[in-house]
Amino acid sequence: MKAIITGVTGQDGSHLTDLLLEKGYEVVGVSRRTSTDNTERIKHVLDHPNFTLESGDIADSSSLVRILENHGHGLQVEFYNLAAQSHVAESFKQPGVTWDITGKGVLNALQSIVDLDLKHIRFYQASSSEMFGSSFDYKTYNVHTGEIEQYQDEDTKFLPQSPYAIAKCAAHYMVRLFREAYGLHASAGILFNHEGPRRGETFVTRKITKWIGEFIKWKNSQQGVFAQGQIGGRDHENYIYVEDPLNPEGFPKLRLGNLEASRDWGYAGDYTEGMWMMLQQSQPDDYVLCTGETHTIRQFLNAAFKHVGINNWENYVVVDPQFYRPAEVDYLRGKNTKAKEKLGWEPKHSFEDLVKKMVESDAQL
């Protein structure tokens, strides 16, 4: 069995590579040329005998054709398209590049497979819950809380709120078209937010846990002062100070944007297993992967700071409008009934497990 993975250097690409190597796959990772090393997350597999790193860019069809010609033949080949400009806020600043990579890149991959007559290849597309945007269905009345619960599933309409989400919608429809028009075994996983210690440092969960890790290290370096249990002695809008006139150094507070948005956060390793399960089905299809729970950024902050014994996170965080987005997705909460019933997939990690994993990794607890 062989798998070609675009986006192999990213969070999901690295987890999927680990999973498929464990299963005995030959893995061909596709990575674009960058002037600084981008292989940190896959450095542990670079010398694996079943791993090959190929240079390629999803926006450059000729590189995909070369890779497919070299690696696309053979009976069981899977192609996981995880490559994307995946940062939603950045997509407002670089909408054209986001479109070329996240949208048109998917057409490049699908069309190359068809043109080379490699239709036996099973294709996975990394679709996103961002495609739902501000759309959700009211379906469940919770008898315990008396609330009507809102969620998104495979039948919820798309109402994208960013250039990223629009590019993902176009790619999603392209996958459906190639499935129907050419009979490709092409599936799309509509994945809700999934995180972990390998998450990019500018996504909100990792930004928080990384800050906590750095703060703990700084705090430990100030041990003599902190032994008295004093911080925030000279409170400042942007810095945390210790109550020590001899120590004028402060630690910069954590700067975040909208704290009210809700996300359905799961653990990335669980979700890459779901991707693989989709391609093992006899028929291609689209599936939502999510936990079914939703939490605000405030709740994530609360849980993450509590984990290192800090109960008043508000004293450490500055809300900075530079991190607001021109349009926001306020609420994401998925329903994973189809994935549970058809794939037998379920998330193995809870919200609390995820927070613990991330904080402990960044704070080296």
Residues serving a catalytic function are 128, 130, 164
Establish if 257 lies at the interface with ligand G4F (CB under 6 A).
yes
C-alpha 321/C-alpha 206 separation (Å) is: 19
Among ligand NAP, ligand G4F, none, residue 257 binds (CB under 5-8 Å by kind):
ligand G4F
Q: Name the token pair of 337.
A: 């009934």
Give Dmax (Cα) for the chain. Answer: 73
CB neighbours of residue 52 within 10 Å: 17
CA distance 21 to 2: 10
Please answer whether residues 136 and 192 qualify as being in contact, where contact means their C-beta atoms are separated by less than 8 angstroms.
Answer: no
298 binds ligand G4F (CB under 6 A): no
| 179 or 333: CB nearest ligand G4F | 333
Which of the choices ligand NAP, ligand G4F, none does residue 263 contact, using the CB cut-off of 5 to 8 A by kind?
Answer: ligand G4F
| 88 near ligand G4F (CB under 6 A) | yes
Residue 11 interaction partner, one of ligand G4F, ligand NAP, none, beta carbon < 5-8 Å per kind:
ligand NAP
Among 2, 3, 4, 7, the residue binding ligand NAP under the rule CB under 6 A is 7
Binding mask 115-144 for ligand G4F (x = CB under 6 A): -------------xxx--------------
Considering the rule CB under 6 A, would residue 81 count as an interface residue with ligand G4F? Answer: no
Q: Does an H or E element contain 102, and which?
A: none
Please list the residues that pair with 186 across neighbouring strands: 123
Write the DSSP assignment of 182-229 as a string of letters. Answer: H--EEEEEEEPPEE-TTS-TTSHHHHHHHHHHHHHHHHHHTHHHHTTT
Contact at 8 Å (CB) between 75 and 120?
yes
Of residues 219 and 325, the one with the C-beta less far from ligand G4F:
325
Q: Which residue has the closest beta carbon to ligand NAP? A: 10
Does residue 208 bind ligand NAP (CB under 6 A)?
A: no
Residue 3 interacts with which of ligand G4F, ligand NAP, none, CB < 5 to 8 Å by class: none
**Distance of closest approach, residue 1 Cβ to ligand G4F, in angstroms:** 27
Examine residue 35 and tell whether it contacts ligand NAP (CB under 6 A).
no
Q: How big is the CA angle at 269 (ends 293 and 177), to the nearest 5 degrees? A: 80
The answer to whether residues 177 and 329 touch, using CB atoms and an 8 Å cutoff, is no
Our CB check for ligand NAP shows the closer of 25 and 267 to be 267
Angle at 84 between CA 64 and CA 44, to 5 degrees: 80
Give min distance, CB of 221 to ligand NAP, in A: 31
Min CB(29)–ligand NAP separation in Å: 9
Pairwise CA distance, residues 147 & 230, whole Å: 42
When computed from its CA atoms, the radius of gyration of the chain, rounded to whole angstroms, is: 22
The answer to whether 90 contacts ligand G4F (rule: CB under 6 A) is: no
Residue 57 binds ligand NAP (CB under 6 A): yes
Neighbours of 163 (CB within 10 A): 24
187, 124 Cβ separation under 8 angstroms: yes
Stretch that binds ligand G4F, among 50-58, 83-91, 148-156, 308-316 (CB under 6 A): 83-91
Q: For residues 130 and 162, is the Cβ–Cβ distance under 8 A?
A: yes
Q: How far is the CB of 34 from ligand NAP (least distance, A)?
A: 5
Say whether residue 156 binds ligand G4F (CB under 6 A): no
Q: How many CA atoms lie within 13 A of 138 on its CB side?
A: 3
Instruction: Give the binding site for ligand NAP (CB under 6 A).
Output: 6-7, 9-13, 32, 34, 38, 57-59, 82-86, 101, 126, 128, 191, 193-194, 200
Instruction: Give the binding site for ligand G4F (CB under 6 A).
Output: 86, 88-89, 128-130, 192-193, 202-204, 207, 256-258, 261, 263, 297, 323, 325, 328, 332
